Chain A
Amino acid sequence: MTAELLVPHLDAAFNLARWLMGNDADAEDVVQEACVRAIAAMDRFRGGDPKAWLLTIVRNGCYSTFRQRRRRPATDLNEVTDHLESGGSSPERLALGGEQAQHVQAAVAALAPEFREVIVLREFEGLSYKEIAAIAEIPIGTVMSRLSRARAQLHEALATYQGTPS
């Protein structure tokens, strides 16, 4: 009745937290805490989508941690080395993709968090605009405009890496 509902969504939860926090340890802390909160607040969850519900709590946990630390979350390319060096999670795709994967990762990591999260939820999790709007607690119109800007930024960044004119 409790943790069972959440276990299938731990990968999605960790992925979102990892992309927002920029390192494994922080992502684990956020997801752990989010699970405790999710289970404690089971009452308020009545037959909705447990994945979206957990991801909302994870996202709030990430932003809450940012505020507590009073510093900008990982946006600059220095954080990329964290991504590349940290073990623990599965960077198989990174290894397989080689240089391309590194560039893509760097490009996504370079996005501001509010743009990064919509890209993660749309492109990596395949969630609908409605689901993303619920998780990020923004209107659907804002989801669309942030996606549009994020994609434009990514397109330009990746075109540069690939050496083709954007």
Chain B
Amino acid sequence: MTCDDVERLAGAYHDSELDAALSSDLESHVATCQGCAARLAALQALSVSLRAAPYYRAPAALTRSVTQRLAPPVLTRRPRLSIALPWLIAAVSVVVVAAMTLPLRFGRSGSDAVVNEVMASHLRSLQADHLVDVASSDRHTVKPWFAGRLDFSPTVVDLAADGFPLVGGRLDFVDGRSVAALVYRRRQHDINVLAWPATTPQESVAHRDDPRGYHLIHWTRDHMTWWVVSDLASVELNDFADRLMAATAKGS
């Protein structure tokens, strides 16, 4: 090994990237060559100096943001009184009004009554040709179809690249109001996504299983309530829900 070789290979040797044979050759040369020994020493000294540089750790707010926005399905509920309080006041006044007019109109978004309605919606949609009112895999066709039919504009995302093509959209009626039903598919399994504006504050993701073999996933975020129903296997449905959540996140 020559000094030119060492010049080429010193960095790799210092980074433990040289194979045993070359390393051994280099060491033999360096043992008898002051210039090359100095070269290695300089690399070592530089690495030591560089340890004084800051290592920028992720700020706590960023870690929180990533884990909370994009966390796996099992979350603990975060009691946020500053947000809950105005909702509480609004909810109480709404309940008072509702009690006098439409006693069955509002329910807590995850209540058993809503679960039953979501299941019924899903099962009805599987009958005959009740699946979609607008059949299209193009979200630019499905989303505008809801305009004038709903008092909100549902977020329709494209998950075809993830293996969940859009089948279409449908109007449905759940929890006392008109809701958007977006139908996706994985192989032979239809997935109903029901969405409507939330009347409750943010809720963590919840899972329920229907004994007839269906899985339900529910969450409320950014003032929207979401329900995902399908007989697709739990693992795959969780994957779908994760992607849907990420794709519909505010600002994404």
Q: Is B117's beta carbon under 8 Å from chain A?
A: no
Q: 1/0 per residue B1-19: CB within 8 Å of A? A: 0000000000110010100
Q: Knowing A7-B67, A89-B59 are in contact, say whether A2-B50 is a contact too (CB < 8 A).
A: no
List the interface of chain B (C-beta within 8 A of A): 11-12, 15, 17, 42-43, 46-47, 49-59, 61-63, 65-67, 69-72, 161-163, 238-239, 242-243, 246-247, 249, 252
Q: Is A82's beta carbon under 8 Å from chain B?
A: no
Q: Which residues of B contact A66 (CB under 8 A)?
A: none
Closest to B10 in A: A148
Q: Is A74's beta carbon under 8 Å from chain B?
A: no
Closest to B43 in A: A151
A4–B54 Cα distance when bound, in Å, is 26
Q: Is A94's beta carbon under 8 Å from chain B?
A: yes
* Contact between chains at B50 and A108 (CB < 8 Å): yes
* Contact between chains at B12 and A144 (CB < 8 Å): yes
A47–B246 Cα distance when bound, in Å, is 21
* Contact between chains at A31 and B54 (CB < 8 Å): no
Q: Knowing A7-B66, A93-B52, A124-B53 are in contact, say whether A24-B59 is a contact too (CB < 8 A).
A: yes
Most buried by A among B53, B162, B238: B53
* Distance (whole angstroms) from the CB of B76 to the closest CB of chain A: 15
- Cβ < 8 Å to B, chain A residues 87-107: 88-94, 97, 100-101, 104-105
Q: Which of A11, A19, A83, A108 is close to B58, meaning CB atoms less than 8 Å apart?
A: A11
Q: 1/0 per residue A1-29: CB within 8 Å of B? A: 11110110011011100110000100110
Q: Which residues of B contact A19 (CB under 8 A)?
A: 56
Closest to B163 in A: A43
* Contact between chains at A14 and B59 (CB < 8 Å): yes
